[in-house]
Amino acid sequence: MSEGDWVRNLDEQGIWTVEHFLTQERGEPTRHSTQGGIPQSTPALQALTAHVQRNCAPAAANGCQLEEQLRRTKFIRTGFQRVDEMLGGGLRGAQVTEITGASSSGKTQLCLTTAAVLGSTSEGRVFYIDSTNSFAAARVAEILTKARRSQQGGSLHQTLSKIHVYKVHDAYELQDVLEGLERFLGRQNNALIIIDSLSLCIAPLLGGSQIQGHAVMTSIGKMLHRIASETGAAILYTNHTVADRSQETMTSGHMECKPALGHTWRSQPHLRIQLFKEVNQSHQEEGKVLARVLHGGPAMEASFYPGQEVRL
């Protein structure tokens, strides 16, 4: 059977998706055909199966490989010592990290500070995707000044020259930028991609009559994982919070908040950190923020001051 005949055989049996192909037993008739199912073994079948396994199936790794991978992992510091200690050294290369929190909880300040810290290193490169119009060179300069770094002419210029800013307005522009970065990056050392805010791009496509929203969201999630895995870049993005109307919070007498984008997105990041403005703060503690690991690591938390304590 030729490759073309084999593809027509699948089409006649109503097998149109990879999922259906993988779950169909070899030789088992489908609901569209009683004359036999997928052929037991053909060159085309073997080639397609190998392609799916190579590109879709997770690669197995033994303990030695995992240890070597951990040893070669690059860490990117956020600039806040307690947060970096909580993360075991900072943001991990080849991983996707989500920062979620309510409005004015410090998400953008954390992104800008991390960008400034990495940009001040000799090899760091930052790709800052801005959908909130919140990036400003003046804010980066202020962060560096508060860190008591010498700001003699070229120092600030060199830092800003390593931060590449992309302005996007929706999920489709975000996809275009990510596709370009995927082609451009290759295997970079100390590369960081920041998306502030990812939820602002995706949320308008969800709910109502937007039937393509979840498909676009899933596509962006896969793209982020692929870029992180293939380039070794650390990816940091922000997500807003929404009211948690689950039965547990409703019966507790007060409404909690949870990360936006729903259950479909819940398992996308390797690590999820939520920021909280601490309540009942004294005058000395004004502006204090609590960072708490929600997913992807031990349940830990650390407090920091977004406008202070920056360490380059």
pLDDT of 295 higher than 50:
yes
Provide the strand spans (E) within 172-300. 191-196, 234-239, 241-244, 256-259, 271-277, 289-295
3-state DSSP percent of the chain in helix, strand and coil, to 5: 40, 20, 40
Whether the predicted pLDDT of 32 surpasses 70: no
Is the pLDDT assigned to residue 212 strictly greater than 50? yes
> Quick check: 72 pLDDT over 50?
yes
Give the pLDDT band of residue 67 (cuts 50, 70, 90): confident
Cα of 40 vs its chain's centroid, Å:
40
Instruction: Report the alpha-carbon angle 142-193-59, nearest 5.
Output: 150
Tell me: the pLDDT tens digits for 2-22?
556 766 777 777 676 666 666
255 beta partners:
none
Q: What pLDDT, on a 0 to 100 scale, did the predictor assign at position 220?
A: 95
The confidence score (pLDDT) of residue 150 equals: 44
CA 101, CA 270: separation in Å to the nearest integer?
17
pLDDT higher at 124 or 152: 124
Residue 22 is predicted with a pLDDT of 62
CB proximity list for 193: less than 8 A, separation 6 or greater = 127, 129, 181, 227, 233, 234, 235, 236
What is the pairing mode between strands 256-259 and 241-244?
antiparallel
Per DSSP, the residues of 252-276 read: TTS-EEEESSHHHHTT-SSEEEEEE
pLDDT in tens, 75-122: 999 999 999 999 999 999 999 999 999 998 999 999 999 999 999 887
Task: Scan for tokens 């992104």, then name that residue.
Answer: 111
Residue 297's pLDDT is 85
* Range with lowest mean pLDDT among 44-53, 60-69, 179-188, 200-209: 44-53
CA 32 to chain centre: 40
Split at pLDDT 50, 70, 90, the class of 262 is confident
What is the topology classification, in CATH, of domain 71-304?
Rossmann fold (3.40.50)
Residue 294 has pLDDT above 50, yes or no: yes
Q: In the chain, where does the domain assigned CATH 3.40.50.300 lie?
A: 71-304
For 150-195, write each residue's pLDDT tens digit. Answer: 444 447 888 889 999 999 999 999 999 999 999 888 766 679 999 9
* Predicted confidence (pLDDT) at residue 235 exceeds the cutoff of 80: yes
**Confidence grade of residue 30 (pLDDT, cut at 50, 70, 90):** very low
Give residue 280's pLDDT: 60
The DSSP call for residue 71 is H
pTM across the whole model: 0.76
Considering 162-176, 212-226, 258-272, the range whose residues carry the highest mean pLDDT is: 162-176
Return the half-sphere exposure (C-beta side, CA atoms, 13 A cut-off) of residue 304: 27
